[in-house]
Chains A and B, each alone.
Chain A
Amino acid sequence: MRHNLMETKKLIELLGEKLSSFIVKADKMPNNDLLILIKKESLLSVMDTLKNDLELKFNVLMNHLGVDYTESFAVIYNLYSFKLKKKVTVKAYMEHENPEVDSIESVFKGVNWFERETYDLLGIRFRGHSNLKRLLLPSDWEGHPLRKDYIYPEEYNGLILKREENCK
């Protein structure tokens, strides 16, 4: 465990060099992971540097998700580098009204469906996405279910969705 902690320190230094102006905060996550907080406007440049810089080479996007913190939204990206054998988590906050952020599809092609799912379930729009449509829910569904203030609809296209009172 100890030598991994050392490596995380080295990673923080390396990232500090390359992305100094963009990082707002860097935190150690459990599981020997590193979380860097950035401003949402610098998302594309950060991703580009992380992927293409020859010493960093975080060329694998493992995961992407969105989170609804009731007063703000956040998007989180998990990246992995074969070269450094380290993971890094990139997080960016945005305001709760009309959440919008750049799509990183131009950098990581495989994030296409991940961003569609985040749009579908949370309502975060991704500028520049090639096909931002609903993925898991039917295309005429209203609302974004994963939001904390989501109200379950009573009916959908004539189907009653509310549980009947005498079914226990």
Chain B
Amino acid sequence: MTEFALEEMILNMGPHHPSTHGVLRFIVRTDGEMMLRATPDVGFLHRGIEKIAELMPYESFMPYTDRIDYLSSLNCNLGYALTVERLAGIEAPEKAEYLRVIGAELTRIGSHLIAVGALLLDLGAVTPFVHALRERETYNSLMEMLCGARLTHHYVRIGGVAFDAPDGFIEKALSFVNHLEYEFLDEFNKLISFNSILIKRLANVGIITPEKALEFTLVGPNLRGSGIKFDLRKDEPYSIYDRFDFEIPSGSGKFGVQGDAYDRYWVRIEEIKQSCRIVRQAINQMPEHGEIKTKISKPFKIPAGEIYVRTECPRGELGFYLISAGGKTPYRLKIRTGSFSAMTIIEELSEGVMVADLVAIIGSLDVVAPEIDR
């Protein structure tokens, strides 16, 4: 053990803590207000999903993928379905692909609303969080219309999707994204995003340079907040994302240094706008009628082989490494999530900052416990 100076104090943040996003625990060594090191202790939400995958047939495993990241379950479903389909050589029909994209982008909006809201809640601004939740209520009812569940969707199936869009879904989705992009985001930004207290709390805090981001394998909005314009939907297009026109927001030191917490926060706000654009385009392009799901063999077996497919989840890239031995169940399934890498950098960033900043850093990196522990 290291020798302690007399002024050091060891604090325990969590696992039950109103600030941390899920069940996380930090062991913080502080010297008064300044932190010396914050060591994360994870594993409280470890459910052994990878071991369960070795026991489940491919289709039956789909509900487990909901719970890898319950705030953006449709995206996780999509990643798993794409992995299995590519290894098995199946393609989903046209309408199913459009429904998948609409669902995925709506889920991205819902997840970013919570991410941004949780960060603001940790910083003391309760009202914007409640406003974001109000918007998410519309998203929840949209999802309920589409697949019957508000949180863990289980909507994507191997070979397509489960249900067709019901009557009224398209109109409601369109009015939702219009309201978000043209009314809600402007009001939200005026209320809190340009508030000088928030800027003081977030700018120049938790600065991650691009080199450091790559070194610690950060992905998703965290990587883009450091200025690297890398988005899997544009750089390694999957599904039908190459048919849509959207931009990749990236951090540029808007109010501070490039790669600080404010940049990551702003990237998420901008991504909501871009997702609204994609949903609108997808709704316009979607065919009226079409198949929802290709038929797959019963029992469903995949030829032996290995594959690594990564898709863009709201919290980063979700990668599935699937090793199949030709049977009904996977031989090995590895799930690589974005929050896992984001946790590793928190320990590095925590040296020499105040305890209050630790909360801002965790919130801006948007870590959720189920993604880390699986």
Decide if A and B touch, CB cutoff 8 A. yes
Quick one: which of A61, A67, A113 contacts B323, CB cutoff 8 A?
A67
Does B175 interact with chain A (Cβ within 8 Å)?
no
User: Hey, what's the 0/1 contact readout for B38-59 against A, CB within 8 Å counting as 1?
Assistant: 0000110010101100000000
Asked if B43 and A135 sit within 8 Å, CB to CB, the answer is yes
B216 touches A62 (CB 8 A): no
Partner-binding segment picked from A8-16, A28-36, A96-104: A28-36
A68 neighbours in B (Cβ, 8 Å): 332
Specify which of A61, A87, A112, A113 is in contact with B308 (CB 8 Å cutoff): A87
B321 — which chain A residues lie within 8 A by C-beta? 63, 65, 76, 78
Residue B373 CB within 8 A of the other chain: yes
B307 at the interface (CB under 8 A from A): yes
Known: A62-B336, A63-B319. A137 touches B309 (CB 8 A): no
Contacting residue for A29 out of B306, B343, B374, CB 8 A = B306
**Interface of A (DSSP majority class):** mixed
Tell me if B306 and A60 are in contact (CB < 8 A). Answer: no
B349 close to A (CB within 8 Å) = no
Question: Bound state CA distance, A145 and B230, in angstroms?
Answer: 35
Q: Is the CB of A31 within 8 A of B86?
A: yes
Residues of B contacting A25 with CB < 8 Å?
none
In this assembly, does A49 line the interface, its C-beta being within 8 Å of a C-beta of chain B?
A: no
Taking CB atoms, residues of chain A closer than 8 Å to B87 are: 30
Which residues of A80-120 are within 8 A (CB) of B?
Answer: 82, 85, 87, 89, 108-114
> CA separation between A121 and B374, bound complex, in Å?
12
What is the interface size of chain A, counting residues whose CB is below 8 A from a CB of the partner? 34
Determine if A158 is an interface residue (Cβ-Cβ < 8 Å). no
Q: Are B86 and A30 in contact (CB under 8 A)?
A: yes
Mark each residue of chain A from 26 to 45: 1 if its CB lies under 8 Å from any CB of chain B, else 0: 00011101010000000000
- Alpha-carbon distance between A67 and B323 when the two chains are bound, in angstroms: 9
Complex contacts, B317 vs chain A, CB 8 Å: 62
B79-95 CB contacts (< 8 Å) to partner A: 86-87
Partner of B217, one of A30, A31, A85, A110: A110
Q: Output the nearest chain A residue to B212 by Cβ-Cβ distance.
A: A109
* A136 contacts chain B at the CB level, 8 A cutoff: yes
Known A-B contacts A67-B332, A136-B373; A33 and B217 likewise in contact (beta carbons under 8 Å): no
Give B44's nearest chain A residue, CB to CB: A136
Question: Which residues of B lie under 8 Å from residue A112 when comparing CB positions?
Answer: 344
Contact B46 A137 (CB under 8 A): yes
Collect the chain A residues with CB atoms within 8 Å of residue B334's CB: 63, 65
- Given A60-B217, A136-B42, verify A145-B308 contact (CB < 8 Å): no
B305 / chain A contacts, CB cutoff of 8 Å: 29-30
Q: Is the C-beta of B139 less than 8 angstroms from some C-beta in chain A?
A: no
Q: Which B residues are in CB contact (< 8 Å) with A30?
A: 86-87, 305, 307
Q: Which residue of chain B is the closest to A120 with respect to CB atoms?
A: B43
A135 adjacent to B308 (CB under 8 Å): no
Q: From A33, A62, A67, A82, name the one whose CB has the most chain B CB atoms within 10 angstroms.
A: A62
Give the residues in chain A near B308, CB-CB below 8 Å: 29, 31, 33, 62-63, 78, 87, 89
Tell me whether A110 and B309 are in contact (CB under 8 A).
no
| Chain A residue nearest to B86 in the complex (CB) | A31
> In the complex, which residues 206-224 of chain B have their Cβ closer than 8 Å to any Cβ of chain A?
214-217
Q: How far is the CA of A121 from the CA of B373 in the complex (A)?
A: 12
Across the interface, do B217 and A62 meet the contact criterion of CB distance under 8 Å? yes
Q: Which of A62, A76, A110, A135 contacts B42 (CB under 8 A)?
A: A135
Q: In the complex the two chains form, is A136's CB within 8 Å of B309's CB?
A: no
Query: Any chain A CB within 8 A of the CB of B273?
Result: no
Task: Kindly identify which residue among B51, B235, B341 contacts A85, using a CB–CB cutoff of 8 Å.
Answer: B235
Mask, B331-374, CB within 8 Å of A = 1, is 11010100011011000000000000000000000000000011
Chain B proximity of A86: nearest CB distance (Å): 10
| In the assembled complex, B136 has its CB within 8 A of some CB on chain A | no
A–B complex contacts, Cβ < 8 Å, 12 sampled: A29-B306, A29-B307, A30-B86, A30-B307, A31-B308, A63-B308, A63-B336, A67-B331, A110-B215, A111-B217, A112-B344, A136-B46
New A-B contacts (11) at CB < 8 Å, excluding given A35-B306, A76-B321:
A29-B305, A29-B308, A31-B309, A63-B321, A65-B336, A78-B321, A82-B230, A87-B308, A111-B217, A136-B46, A145-B48
